Homo-oligomer: A and B are copies of this chain.
Amino acid sequence: MPKPGPRLRLVDVAERAGVSLATASRALAGREGVSEEVANRVRQVSQELGYVANPYARTLAGGASSTVGLVVHQVDDPYFSEIAGGVIQVAGEQGLLVQICHSGRDPDYELRQLRHLIAQRVGIILIAGSGYADPRVEAPARHELSAYQSLGGRVAVIGRHFLGVDAVLPDNTAGGRALGEHLLGLGHRRIAIASATGGLTTVLDRLAGVAEALQRHGLAIEDLPVVRTDFTRDGGRIAAEQILREHPDTTAIIALNDSMAIGVLSTLRAHRVGVPDRISVVGFNDVSVAADLAPSLTTVRLPMTDMGRMVLDLALKPRSKRPRRRSTGHALVVRDSTGPVPS
C-alpha cells in the first residue's frame, strides 16, 4: 500500500507569512485570538501556495475529521444511489469526503461496517438503509453509535430506526395510504401486495399506510394476500408468479418499492397479462426509470436526492438534546400502470 508523500506543510505557510506555527493554525482554522490583519495575511499566503492541511495530522492532533461514512444496503440499487448522490453533493459543497460502504441488508455485516467506520475515525456516520422492526436487532449498533457520539461523533439516519439519533423520515405510511386510496378509488378490491421481509420498518410503515386506506373502505389488510420476498426485481418476479398462481382474480398489485414493481411488470408481460387492463401495478420511491417503463409506473415519489442532502445537513448541525426528526413529504405520481378495475 502506498504512502502519501511530502507536501507543503503548515510551517511553510507560517514561515512565508512571518508568523508562528500556532498563529498560522489559528488563522486558518478561523479561531479567535488572531488579529484580523495577521489572519488575512496567513490566509492569503496559504491560498497562493495552494496549501491543504494534512488531514491525518490534523485529525490526530485533535482537530476535525472531514470524512463522512455512508452506509447503504447496496449502492447499485437506484434508491440508494440517488441518496448517495445527494450526500455527495452536499459533501462536495462542504469540502468533505464521503466513504460509502454496504450493509447488504444484514444487521451483523452492517455492525461490522459501522465498527470499521468508527475505527477509521470518520467524523460523521450516515445510515441510509431501513431500520429493523425488532429493536433488539439494532441494540448492538445503538450501543456502538452512542459511544461514538459521546466521543464527539455525529450520526444521522434515513428511516425509522431505534438508534436514538437524528433522522430523516420518509413518508412511508402516508405514501402507502395514498397508493391504497388511489387503487380503491379506481374500484379495485382484490389487491395483492408484493412485500419485502417484515423485519424492516420501511415495510411495516408502507403496509400500515395501505391498511389505513383499506380500513376507510371497510376492508382489512389481513384479508389480502401479502407475499413476502425481497426489495429487488427478482423479489418482484417471484411475488408476481405466486400471486398469479394463487390469486388469479387479483386486479391490482402493490409492490412495496419500484424495483419490485419492475419485476412484477416483467412477469406480467411474460404471462401476457395486460397492465393496467387486467391488473394495475403500483410501486414506491419513483426511481428515475419509473417514468420510462412501459407502461410507465404509478408510484409514490420520495425525494431521494434531497433525503441524502437532508441527512448530511442534520449531521452537520451540533448534536441536540433530543434527536431531530425531519419528514420528507411524498407525492403520488399517477402514470399508465394503473386504471379502473376491469369490469
- Chain A residues near B (Cβ < 8 Å): 1-7, 52, 54-57, 59-60, 62-67, 69, 74-76, 78, 81-82, 84-85, 88-89, 92, 95, 97-102, 113, 115-117, 119-121, 123-124, 150-154, 233, 262-263, 265-266, 269, 288-289, 291-295, 305
Whether the pair A92, B81 counts as a contact (CB closer than 8 A) is no
A89 to B100, CA, bound (A): 11
Q: Which of A7, A69, A266, A292 is most buried by chain B, counting CB atoms within 10 A of its CB?
A: A292
A52 to B101, CA, bound (A): 18
Whether the pair A78, B75 counts as a contact (CB closer than 8 A) is no
Whether the pair B63, A3 counts as a contact (CB closer than 8 A) is yes
Work out how many copies of this chain go into the complex: 2
Q: Which of A60, A76, A78, A92 is most buried by chain B, counting CB atoms within 10 A of its CB?
A: A76
Given A98-B101, A99-B67, A102-B92, A62:B3 Cβ within 8 A: yes
- Of B5, B150, B152, B263, the contact of A4 (CB 8 Å cutoff): B152
Besides A67-B99, A75-B81, 14 more A-B contacts (Cβ < 8 Å) are A2-B65, A3-B151, A4-B123, A55-B56, A75-B75, A81-B81, A81-B84, A88-B102, A92-B113, A97-B101, A98-B99, A99-B99, A233-B289, A262-B292
From residue A28, how far is it (CB to closest CB) to chain B in Å? 14
Report 23 cross-chain contacts, Cβ distance below 8 Å, ordered by A residue.
Answer: A1-B64, A1-B65, A2-B124, A2-B153, A3-B151, A5-B153, A7-B119, A52-B119, A56-B60, A57-B60, A66-B120, A75-B84, A81-B84, A85-B102, A88-B100, A89-B102, A92-B101, A98-B99, A98-B100, A233-B292, A266-B291, A289-B289, A294-B294
A4 to B269, CA, bound (A): 53
A6 to B147, CA, bound (A): 11
Residues of B within 8 A of A262 (CB): 289, 292
A123 to B113, CA, bound (A): 20
Whether the pair A100, B121 counts as a contact (CB closer than 8 A) is no
A142 to B294, CA, bound (A): 44
A270 to B28, CA, bound (A): 56
- Of B1, B54, B84, B153, the contact of A123 (CB 8 Å cutoff): B1
A241 to B144, CA, bound (A): 55
Whether the pair B100, A59 counts as a contact (CB closer than 8 A) is no
Whether the pair B65, A75 counts as a contact (CB closer than 8 A) is no
Cβ-closest chain B residue relative to A89:
B102
Given A3-B152, A56-B121, A233-B292, A100:B102 Cβ within 8 A: no
Whether the pair A97, B121 counts as a contact (CB closer than 8 A) is no
From residue A27, how far is it (CB to closest CB) to chain B in Å? 18
Residues of B within 8 A of A81 (CB): 75-76, 78, 81, 84
Residues of B within 8 A of A1 (CB): 64-66, 123
Residues of B within 8 A of A115 (CB): 52
Whether the pair A3, B123 counts as a contact (CB closer than 8 A) is yes
Whether the pair B63, A54 counts as a contact (CB closer than 8 A) is no
From residue A249, how far is it (CB to closest CB) to chain B in Å? 24
- Of B5, B64, B265, the contact of A3 (CB 8 Å cutoff): B64
From residue A153, how far is it (CB to closest CB) to chain B in Å? 5
